[in-house]
Structure 1
Amino acid sequence: MTPPGSTIGILGGGQLGRMLALAAANMGYRVHILAPEDELPAGDVAAEVTRADYTDRAALDAFAASVDVATYEFENIDVDAVCYLSERVPVLPHPRALEVAQDRLAEKRFVADLGGSPAPYRAVDSLADLEAAFGALGSLVLKTRRMGYDGKGQARVRHVEDCAAAWEAIAHAPAVAEALVAFDCEFSVVLARGADGAVAVYECPDNRHDAGVLGESVVPGGAIVAAQAPAAVALARRVADALDYVGVLTLEFFASAEGPVFNEMAPRVHNSGHWTIEGARASQFENHIRAICGLPLGSPALTAPGVRMRNLLGDDVHDWATILADPAAHLHLYGKSEVKPGRKMGHVTWLD
């Protein structure tokens, strides 16, 4: 057990790290952030900040010596660096989860081996591979195997003539071609797992996207989400157990006529779980801290019959005054200075 008063290291300095740091501070922990960027939303609320590349071994040595346990707030971190850090201080979740989640092809195979149902897919390493995949799958989305998120590193292919442009759009990177799936809605499973195997599962939200970026999460989801959530939750638990996972894990799904279709996993706290700050008795951020510190998990039960979370993307952040004038709104701004289209600047939550 890592008791309150200890220092938690977080790799990554974005808004997820910020909300983890706030949850940790409420429980009596200090937080040390390591990240390379100049602007670090998490650094504004942390006790200590190291600005260094994740592969800087000297910085990792000093970081490890200053913390009692470490975690990460996003998955696009060099796995070798995380393994190096884990030899010096406990890192949770285990780097094995990063290895799986960083490669879409490995991720799909891993989940399929556990009984999950990803969309039909093909590995793509050349334009010829992509054209063959289109012949086998029909209309598809091409996704880079690594470093893609929030719609980045993706291209749609609806006609065979689109293949060349799509291949250029992802800069000839190793990729996966996924058949386009007919679905009613998208939903996610957010769960926390402790080192003892205890699991806390949150209500599955109906996630609504805008140009590949999450726009809203609504809890509870509709009837089809309620019907398909048990199978999705069972798969998420199998994934967590197979990885001996410690912390918060998220799996995204399409609710389809054939049942839940696996989309992707994130070995971390997740945007579709932001509603839990006000909407659950113990938020995803609190439960991640509890899990990595070896504490009992808090309750994921709802605090209201319904919850809605909306992301503030780009210029939406300028609506802060109107939002604050709504006594039912809970506003979270991330402290980012540069406003760009589609950039996550904050979120707002309403309890019903």
Structure 2
Amino acid sequence: MLSQASGRLGFNVVILDPEENSPACRVSQGQIVAAYDNPTALQVLGKACQAVTFEFENVPARSVEILIEAGCEVAPGPRALAVAQDRVDEKSFLNSIKVPTTAFAAINDLGSLRAAVASLGAPALLKTRRQGYDGKGQAWIKADSGAARAWAAIGAQPAILEARAEFVRELSVICARGRDGDIAVYPLGENTHAGGVLKTTLAPANVGSQTKAQATRIARKILEGLDYVGVMGVELFEMPGGRLLVNEIAPRVHNSGHWTQDGCACDQFEQHIRAVAGWPLGPTAAHARVEMTNLLGNEIKAWKALAADPAVRIHIYGKREAKPGRKMAHINRILPLARSRPRSPGPARKS
């Protein structure tokens, strides 16, 4: 989708991906088939491209540094990537710029885990420091006695323990910063999950002006704190009383921003390319309300019926195999854009 947006703006795109004939390759001008840390491939990519970006945060930060050392323009930069790759570093950075998060502790062994559970209390959520997404690499500790079992479940590797957050709902904000420091923020989305995987995003979310302003302040602090260039997704917990905590940041276009493809004149993918290329940022106002739904695994088989619905726009990724829980596509259901009062907080949920 980044490549398709690039094409609309007149750019040619080369993809570096270890998967031959990847979905992105099929809508790009070329592909280098190699590992993300292959030095020869990085050299070829740097010579072929005027600017380089990435679309997920498991790319080695060192690869970005190598490209920059060779004189290539890369955005976002290596610091943002490195911070987002390590959950302890991420939360430590957020707290250092006065952005609130849940309480947490770094975990290096079973002893430190037991001490952290005693300090933070149970239930608490144990996550691997690196890798892991969509519910993978994490385990709940529901009582002090569950520490050993959770430690084994995540593979006894460096981790973070997060205190439970009694939040009302999860929101997210898609934001962008250009090379000139200009910042653009999209309307907030309200997210629901199933099995640890994002299922739907409704945007613009039904929130008040104070919540919007609070989310914008948070987004600005993060973008400026990282000297960031590009689009970023920021996941937020709305607490009782309206306070927002940051759950995670993603240094890339984000699943909860897919609604912008059919709800905004300039979607998150075009916005990211604009920022990376040094263009002015595009408008972020919504012209429609959208409910984005991920199609996971065999749900893609309903594509024909969904494509027949006049209110639905379907975006299929072209992945070869539909595995359980794998994101195969998403739909954007267009809803009337009506003004409404902020939703009253419902029963609290737990992170």
The two structures share one fold, judged by TM-score above 0.5: yes
Partner residue of 2:270? Answer: 286
The answer to whether residue 260 in structure 2 is matched with residue 268 in structure 1 is no
Q: CA offset at residue 184 of structure 1?
A: 1.0
SS for the counterpart of 2:167 is coil
The answer to whether residue 203 in structure 2 is matched with residue 219 in structure 1 is yes
Q: CA offset at residue 232 of structure 1?
A: 2.3
Do 1:39 and 1:336's aligned partners in 2 also have CA atoms closer than 8 Å?
A: no
The answer to whether residue 74 in structure 2 is matched with residue 91 in structure 1 is yes
Letter in 1 for 2:305: T
- Could you tell me which runs of 5 or more consecutive residues in structure 2 were left unpaired when the two chains were aligned: 336-351
Do 1:114 and 1:235's aligned partners in 2 also have CA atoms closer than 8 Å?
A: no
Deviation per residue, 1:220-256 (Å, 9 max, x gap): 2234x76433222211111111111110011111111
Deviation per residue, 1:32-63 (Å, 9 max, x gap): 00011236211111110011011111111111
1:42-81 equivalent positions in 2, closer than 5 A:
42-81=24-63
SS for the counterpart of 2:174 is strand
Pairing partner for 2:232 from 236, 239, 249: 249
Partner residue of 2:119? Answer: 136
Letter in 1 for 2:34: A
For 1:153 and 1:30, how far apart are their aligned partners in 2? Answer: 37
Letter in 1 for 2:203: V
Partner residue of 2:109? Answer: 126
For 1:236 and 1:217, how far apart are their aligned partners in 2? Answer: 19
Partner residue of 1:338? Answer: 321
SS for the counterpart of 1:331 is strand
For 1:327 and 1:320, how far apart are their aligned partners in 2? Answer: 13
For 1:235 and 1:87, how far apart are their aligned partners in 2? Answer: 31
- Could you tell me which runs of 5 or more consecutive residues in structure 1 were left unpaired when the two chains were aligned: 1-18
SS for the counterpart of 2:16 is strand
Do 1:36 and 1:52's aligned partners in 2 also have CA atoms closer than 8 Å?
A: yes
For 2:216 and 2:150, how far apart are their aligned partners in 1? Answer: 34
Q: CA offset at residue 161 of structure 1?
A: 2.0
SS for the counterpart of 1:41 is coil
Q: TM-score, normalised by structure 2?
A: 0.92
Q: TM-score, normalised by structure 1?
A: 0.92
Pairing partner for 1:168 from 148, 152, 177: 152
For 1:337 and 1:106, how far apart are their aligned partners in 2? Answer: 35
For 2:309 and 2:89, how far apart are their aligned partners in 1? Answer: 45
The answer to whether residue 306 in structure 2 is matched with residue 323 in structure 1 is yes
What percent of counterpart residues are identical?
44
For 2:112 and 2:22, how far apart are their aligned partners in 1? Answer: 40
SS for the counterpart of 2:148 is helix
For 1:99 and 1:25, how far apart are their aligned partners in 2? Answer: 29
For 2:135 and 2:21, how far apart are their aligned partners in 1? Answer: 23
For 2:293 and 2:140, how far apart are their aligned partners in 1? Answer: 26
Pairing partner for 2:13 from 31, 42, 54: 31
Letter in 2 for 1:319: A
For 1:294 and 1:104, how far apart are their aligned partners in 2? Answer: 30
Aligned pair in 2 of structure 1 residues 205, 226: CA closer, same or farther (>3 Å)? farther
The answer to whether residue 158 in structure 2 is matched with residue 177 in structure 1 is no
SS for the counterpart of 2:57 is coil
Aligned pair in 2 of structure 1 residues 39, 144: CA closer, same or farther (>3 Å)? farther
Do 1:276 and 1:282's aligned partners in 2 also have CA atoms closer than 8 Å?
A: yes
Letter in 2 for 1:330: R
Letter in 2 for 1:314: G
Do 2:37 and 2:63's aligned partners in 1 also have CA atoms closer than 8 Å?
A: yes
Aligned CA RMSD, in angstroms, stands at 1.2
The answer to whether residue 221 in structure 2 is matched with residue 238 in structure 1 is yes
Do 2:186 and 2:285's aligned partners in 1 also have CA atoms closer than 8 Å?
A: yes
Partner residue of 1:5? Answer: none
Deviation per residue, 1:283-312 (Å, 9 max, x gap): 0000101111111111011011x2111000
Letter in 2 for 1:283: D
Deviation per residue, 1:129-149 (Å, 9 max, x gap): 111111111210001111121
For 1:154 and 1:324, how far apart are their aligned partners in 2? Answer: 36
Structure 1 segments of 4+ aligned residues over 6 angstroms from their partners: none
Pairing partner for 1:105 from 84, 88, 97: 88
For 2:19 and 2:124, how far apart are their aligned partners in 1? Answer: 35
